[in-house]
Amino acid sequence: MKHFYIIFVMSLFFVFFCISIFNQSTKISDSYKLPNFKTENITDLFPKNIDEINNLTKLALEEAQNSLKFIYDIKDQEYNFKNIMLLFDRTTANFSYKFSTLYVLTMVHPDQEMREAAQKSVMELQKFSIDQFSQNQKLYQILKNYNESRVASSEKIADFEEYFIKETLDSYKKAGLEKDDQTRELIKSITQELGVLALDFDKNINSDNRFIKVSKEELKGVDDEFVESLKKDQDFYILGVDYPTVFKIFEECEIESTRKALWYEFNLRGYPANKEVLNKIIVLRDRLAKFLGFDSYAHMDIADQMAKTPTNVINFLNDISDKCKLKVSQEIEALKKDLPISIDLVENKFKPWDFKFVVNYYNKKYMMLDENLISQYFPTDYTLKALLDIYEQFFGLKFERSNVQNLWSEDVQVLKVYKDNKFIGTLLLDLWPRDNKYPHACQVGIVSSVRDKNYDIISPAVVLVIANFTKPQKDKPALLRRKEVTTFFHECGHAIHSLLGSTELANQSGTSVKGDFVEMPSQMLEEWMTDKEVLKSISKHYITGEKLPDNIIESIQKNQNALIASHLLGQVAYSLISLNLFDKGESKNIDLIWREAHDLLSEVTYGCSDYGYCSFGHLTNYGSKYYGYLWSKIYAKDLFNKIKEHGLFNREIGELYAQKILAKGGSQDPNELLKDFLSRETSSEAFFKDCGL
């Protein structure tokens, strides 16, 4: 009884706290305030129960409505950047972090009722955002009128402020705010429906916990420690479709029937529900593009990106594909020369569930790269700390572990982040697989970092890195596979961008950049994984304490591009899928588009019942812009080569990179940022040369 009384009192306190905020927020000064979460009170950011979810939702709506009213009530003659554009920036930022907080719960919370309540709130806030922000004609007209009066009055503003105005007004025009009333209502309706469908698509992937059951004999080739770490149902072992399990089985299990069965389940994630959802998304996105005056959704989606048009993207992808063809043939022939005994080809092609097994066999035998052996040098606790040490040295950061309790899982690690002895934000790490958790790896910028004119942080960043790494086994600590270490470098690249990309406007902070540029900082940091000094610094054998041996490092460096053309062609295939699904026309044969792109990988047979597009999560949040990974890789290689000339632990070049690229966030055109850092135009030469193409 006492326990329930305490909960009741706490919930009352939360309600009273929220009510007091609602009353105070009638003052315009409160609408300019941004969140200021310290690491010690970071748990206050995340609701602990359904009542708190509902209260946070109500708070987000009421604060946004109050702030919008202030904007509406400003007289024309009183217009200036602060009371129009800055207030607009702060209003959307305060709404956005509450939305992001709730969205995170849908991705990671272990309790189904909490996920469902958060999902309901996210849908409510999403609808409000479309109605009151992105499709709000009254708000757009005020922003437009302000810009006209600003030009007429010659109000002096900074370049980043002018860029913000231009980008904001352009986005409103692109969203159809110049259209007639009837068309705008249709656009709003479609946008609302697309938002719901995108949430459904993601939920169907996250909640798909399919598995197969196999005997001990059907796991031949897989090490005993991994086998014993699996859940069991009587005498059978349960293989889920989480990434650590899937890759382990694909690469090491000698029993083809096991690999095949798991391959089918892995490629059925989200099916059949997401096939129907994706068809609806394709139809609605095409209609939306037509209403907005574009030939296709792909044209609309890419119009404001670095690439500008789908034609430019196609030419870019064709160039990579053409350069890869000869090397792909050479790579495949090398694999075919000596196949494992259990492998047979079909019409001289690999079966899809065999390909990773063959590659792993080839790597071990001919490249001296045994990934199981190498993982013994990457115990998670040591390697992650060593990676953070590199960021400390290169960027001048300091990470301090904080013993914060009462987050959604005891797995979550919490780090305070400092720069020049000043607190700049909180980094959360949720790295282990759980049922119903987001199944891939990503970074979520929950609270944007904002600074004042004196470069003092007024709103510290809150950043979450989600991954699904190999868990500890019975007699072993968690050991990271080399691919997982690279993934951590990648996602922390986004996190560093969020932490160091502190700008005066929240909407320009961190990763708020062009969609085909956002992957550049993360992919640039991936390149660190090929450097000998870096590999030495982040490795330590979990038993002996020895560093990664020189002969293994030499093999890694010598063979880093051994199968690069096959990898790049795979990325081209996924890029074409995302383009072609959203090309002109409502009616698309999704299975045919998926298969035609797969045919680029002509040395691997197509598996019937391959519905991998149902778990291709990038289709909702990246749309037709999956090509951005390859597009930004060009820049990443170019910048990495310049940095390497100075040294990968060189603080001076790290500070320069942070200052000229990361710290700018989205406050400037990325082409200008790149040219400023490189002191020249960007070039693809480094990319193709490093790839051996």
What's the token pair of residue 629? 């990974």
Q: How confident is the model at residue 77 (pLDDT cuts 50, 70, 90)?
A: very high
pLDDT at 605: 72
pLDDT in tens, 365-409: 999 999 999 999 999 999 999 999 999 999 999 999 999 999 999
Which has more confidence, 578 or 473?
A: 578
Q: How confident is the model at residue 661 (pLDDT cuts 50, 70, 90)?
A: very high
**Cβ contacts of 367 within 8 Å, gap of 6 or more:** 555, 558, 559, 562
pLDDT at 600: 78
Closest CA to 340 of 314, 320, 358, 325: 358
Mean pLDDT of the 414-423 span: 97
Closest CA to 509 of 447, 442, 465: 447
What's the mean pLDDT when you consider all of the chain? 92
2-134+136-174 folds as Glutathione S-transferase Yfyf (Class Pi); Chain A, domain 2 (1.20.1050)
Beta bridge partners of 445: 463
pLDDT at 2: 35
Q: How confident is the model at residue 607 (pLDDT cuts 50, 70, 90)?
A: low
**Cβ contacts of 2 within 8 Å, gap of 6 or more:** none
pLDDT at 6: 28
Q: Is 488 left (phi over 0), alpha (psi -120 to 50) or beta?
A: alpha
Asked if residues 82 and 152 have their Cβ atoms less than 8 Å apart, the reply is no
- The span from the CA of 384 to the CA of 231, in Å, is 27
Cis peptide bond upstream of 47, omega within 30: no
Domain boundaries, the chain: 2-134+136-174, 211-266, 288-375+564-607
| Dihedral angle computed from the Cα positions of residues 267, 270, 273 and 279, in that order, rounded to the nearest 10 degrees | -70
pLDDT at 606: 63
DSSP state of 411: T
The residue written with tokens 């990671």 in the block is 108
- The span from the CA of 618 to the CA of 632, in Å, is 16
What's the token pair of residue 383? 């390697």
Q: Is the pLDDT of residue 118 over 70?
A: yes
Furthest-apart CA pair in the chain: how many Å?
A: 82
Closest CA to 479 of 431, 443, 440, 436: 431
Amino acid at 83: N
pLDDT at 608: 63
Mean pLDDT of the 502-512 span: 98
Q: How confident is the model at residue 12 (pLDDT cuts 50, 70, 90)?
A: very low
- The span from the CA of 470 to the CA of 463, in Å, is 22
Q: How confident is the model at residue 21 (pLDDT cuts 50, 70, 90)?
A: very low
Q: How confident is the model at residue 85 (pLDDT cuts 50, 70, 90)?
A: very high
